[in-house]
Structure 1
Amino acid sequence: MTSDLAGYPARYFAAWTQRDLDTALDVIAETVDWQDPSLPEPITDRDGAAGFFTAAWSGFPDMAFHPVGDPLVDTANNRVTQEWRMTGTHTGEGFPPGVPPTGQAFDVAGTDVWEVDDAGRATSVHAYWNVGTLLTQLGLV
C-alpha cells in the first residue's frame, strides 16, 4: 500500500484541478471525515464532498493545487500528508457563500492529511491552512 499512499496526494490534487465531479468523487470514500477551515462543519459523505467541489470550482474556476516536496507516508495507519500551495482567482460566485467575485488572485500555503482505504479513497481529509490569508488576498478583510 505504500506506493498507493505515496501517489494519493497527486490523485487528490488532480481531482480538484480537472473539474469533473465523478472523477473528483472517485478519490473520496462513501463515508468521510473531511475537515477544512473554510467549512462550517465537517463533510461526512460524498454528497457533502460534491457540494464542496462544485462551490469551490464555481467561486475559483482556475483553482489549482501545487505539491511542495514529497508526501510523507505513514503505512502503519494508512495515512499520507502533503504540503501544498493553492492558487487561483476569485472570478465566480458560490464560494465564499454570498460573496460577489473580487477578481483577486490568491496563493495560499497549507497541508492535508489523508487516511486512505484499500480502494484508494480518502476516509479522512484534514486540511490545515489559514482562511484569513485567503480572505486578505481576496481583499475581503
Structure 2
Amino acid sequence: MRTKQTPARPPTPRRRHSPGTPPHITNRGHVITPGHSTITPDKTDPSPPSLESRGEQTSAQKLDPAWVDEFAELWGNAWNAHDPAQVLELLTDDIVYDDSAWPKTMRGKADVREFLDHGWRAFPDLTFELIAGPHIAGDGPRAAYWWKATATHQGPIDPPGIPATGKQIEFDGVDIHDYRDGKIAKLRIIVNMNDIATQLGILPGPGSTAEKIMVGMHKLRSRHTRS
C-alpha cells in the first residue's frame, strides 16, 4: 500500500514594503523599514554635524536658515553672558569688525577683546534682545539682525573719559555678519550714538534750549568761516 506523501510547504516569502513606499528615516540617522520592528543604523548618515561644520558647508553658498538661527542664539547668549571667550570663539582669527561705538576698525581678536572690556566696564549689565531676523542675503553667506539693548551706565567710558552717570539707557541697532568656516569673518554693528549720548546727558535733547544754542553757535561759526 502506497503511503500518501504530504507535499512540502513552500518557504514563507520575506515581508517587504510595498512598491512606492520608501523606508522611513528618523532624525537620529536610523532607517525603519515598514513591516519590520527592528531599527538599523544608517551607515551613510553618521551623527549630526556640528554647528561649525554646517557653517563650513554653507560658506560658499546660500546659508541654511536653521544654521543661522542656531548661530544667532549662540551669539546673543555669548554677549549677554559677558564672557569674552564665548564671543571670540564665534569669530575668525582675522575678524574685521566695525562698530559705531568704537573709533577704529578692529582687526583680530585682540582688538575685539579691548572693545569688549571697554564696553562691559562702562555698562556691566548690558543686555541684548533680538527684535527681528536673521535676514539672510541672497548673494553670499551674510545675515542681518535687528536687536534692542538695555544698560546702566555704572563705569567710566574711557576713552573719551566720561564718568559713570548711573543713568539707564535703551537703544536698538543692527548686526551684519559675513560668515566663513562657521564663524563671523566680517562684522558691522550700527547704532545711533547721538541717541545714546542724549540719554546719558552728554548731548542736549531734541528741541531743548541747549540744543538751540548749539545750533545757533554752529550757524554763527559757519557764517564767519564763509566771510
The structure 2 residue matched to 1:38, chosen from 84, 101, 108, is 101
| CA distance in structure 2 between the partners assigned to 1:72 and 1:45 by the alignment | 26
Quick one: which amino acid aligns to residue 4 of structure 1?
W
Output aligned runs, 1:74-85, within 5 Å: 74=137, 76-85=139-148
Query: What is the aligned-residue identity percentage?
Result: 24
Partner secondary structure for residue 68 of structure 2:
helix
Does 2:186 align with 1:124? yes
Match of 2:168 in 1: 105
5+ residue gaps, structure 1, are none
Could you say what the CA RMSD is over the residues aligned between the two structures, in angstroms? 1.6
Quick one: which amino acid aligns to residue 20 of structure 1?
D
| CA distance in structure 2 between the partners assigned to 1:19 and 1:136 by the alignment | 25
Does 2:209 align with 1:138? no
Count the aligned residue pairs: 140
Match of 2:114 in 1: 51
5+ residue gaps, structure 2, are 1-57, 59-63, 204-227
Quick one: which amino acid aligns to residue 140 of structure 2?
N
| CA distance in structure 2 between the partners assigned to 1:6 and 1:76 by the alignment | 18
Partner secondary structure for residue 77 of structure 1:
coil
TM-score by length of 2: 0.58
Quick one: which amino acid aligns to residue 111 of structure 2?
G
Pick closer, same or farther for the CA change 1:101–1:123 going to 2, 3 Å. Answer: same
Quick one: which amino acid aligns to residue 44 of structure 1?
R
Shift of 1:75: 6.0
Shift of 1:52: 0.8
TM-score by length of 1: 0.91
| CA distance in structure 1 between the partners assigned to 2:143 and 2:69 by the alignment | 7
